[in-house]
Amino acid sequence: MEMLSIDLFSGCGGLTQGMHQAGFKTKVAVELVENAAAAFSLNHPETKVIKKNIRVITKDEIGLALNGQRMHLLAGCPPCQGFSSIRRLNRGSVKDDRNDLVLEYLRFVKEHLPYTIMMENVPALLEYDLFQQVVKELKEIGYYIDVEVVNVKNYGVPQSRRRLVMVGSLLGPIKVAKGSNEKVTVRDVIGDLESMITTDDAIHKITAKHTDDVMERIKLTPKNGGSSKDLPESYTLACHKKANVGFNDVYGRLRWDDYSTTITGGCLNPSKGRFLHPEEDRVITPREAALLQSFPKDYKFPSNIPKQALALLIGNALPPKFSYAQSLNIKNHIESYLGNSDIN
């Protein structure tokens, strides 16, 4: 049975990569940001990418792409920056126009009634009234729903990253997939990577350039896990001395034999978090960041866009290995009810 999926807010394709590895075929992806849509198409050329604001996409537009076939899985990660813990910590309550995009996800479910659904987001979404409304309405139209906050490090991803996962099914009770507890470390994925000087990989050659003062700070940071806290107080920036401003890990080094900290949209800037290489005096490269996100080594990213745009593509993605675990769980669920027949 060919299992068809749709990826809403697809970004550069981390969610679809995991779905494909689990055996789904993504017929349609929706992504408004040009760089993200381009990266998605580089890796998934067989998927139709709709580059529009999701609010204006019609039921018929999706139906045409599905060619009358029933959708097995509707998955998506609505933009979550308005709920991020660092924004709420530094700016208080954050009003963001993207916060109601969960309602667009709900609209797609209601219009197409896929057999199963999956949504991933930041844990703070759990307390959001619109998300609670979405869960309530999904149950009212017949979906069995399960919601959990989990850490992707428990699914073989070399990174600590807490995420909210919602899964649902019209077929019967379903649960969020449990982790395998396979520990994959920073060393496991980037320890044997070729030198960024000799590599032919364009995005492994990219790294930040720093002032002499910043380079001195980096060189003084102890190898394998050191941070700005290990430096003399004279190196502490005034803005970092304030309490509760979210800068505890800036200019920190990754630890070889541990998980990476969360790879964010600032992952190529050491002033944004613990993103220094464990022993080399530099920030991690985009390829290293992508590997810490569990992307395959040959996953393609555009190298001709600004470094910050590239960091956002990688940092905002759903780790493919985590998507694979959740998608495989859903695929097995579907097969347990529909068997292997081609039911649409």
Q: Is residue 198 part of a domain?
A: no
- The answer to whether 80 is a known catalytic residue is yes
Does residue 16 form part of some domain?
Answer: yes
* Residue 173 is assigned to a structural domain of this protein: yes
CA distance 144 to 140: 9
Answer yes or no: is 128 within a domain: yes
Q: Which amino acid is at 222?
A: P
CATH number of 135's domain: 3.40.50.150
Contact 294, 322 (CB under 8 A): yes
Domain count, the chain: 1
Three-state secondary structure call for residue 257:
coil
Q: How many CB atoms lie within 10 A of CB 198?
A: 8
Please say whether the beta carbons of 326 and 157 come within 8 A: no
3-state secondary structure of 217: helix
Confidence at residue 250, expressed as pLDDT on a 0 to 100 scale: 87
pLDDT score, position 186? 98
Rounded to whole angstroms, the maximal C-alpha distance in the chain is: 68
Q: Which of 12, 77, 80, 267 is catalytic?
A: 80
Q: CA nearest 208: which of 119, 268, 264? A: 268
pLDDT at 93: 45
Encoded amino acid at 138, one letter:
L
Q: Is 286 a domain residue?
A: no
What DSSP element (H or E) covers 34?
Answer: helix 34-43
Range of the domain at 81: 3-182+318-338
pLDDT of residue 187: 98
Pairing of strands 48-50, 24-30: parallel
Contact 2, 26 (CB under 8 A): no
Per-residue pLDDT of the chain (344 residues; tens, 9 = 90+): 789 999 999 999 999 999 999 999 999 999 999 999 999 999 999 999 999 999 999 999 999 999 889 999 999 999 865 555 444 444 444 555 667 899 999 999 999 999 999 999 999 999 999 999 999 999 999 999 999 999 999 999 999 999 999 999 999 999 999 999 899 999 999 999 999 999 999 999 999 889 999 999 999 999 999 988 888 877 766 555 565 555 567 899 999 999 999 999 999 999 999 999 999 999 999 999 999 999 999 999 998 999 999 999 999 999 999 999 999 999 999 999 998 655 54
- Is 171:332 a contact under the CB 8 Å cutoff? no
Residue 109: per-residue pLDDT: 98
Please indicate, yes or no, if residue 72 is contained in any of the structural domains: yes
Tell me whether residue 344 is in a domain.
Answer: no
Interatomic CA distance for residues 163 and 339, integer angstroms: 31
Cα separation, 223 vs 340, whole angstroms: 52
Q: Is residue 42 part of a domain?
A: yes
| Spatial separation of the C-alpha atoms in residues 299 and 297, rounded to whole Å | 6
Residues 6+ apart with CB under 8 A from 151: 160, 161, 162, 163, 179
Q: Give which of 89, 120, 88 is closest to 102, Cα–Cα.
A: 120
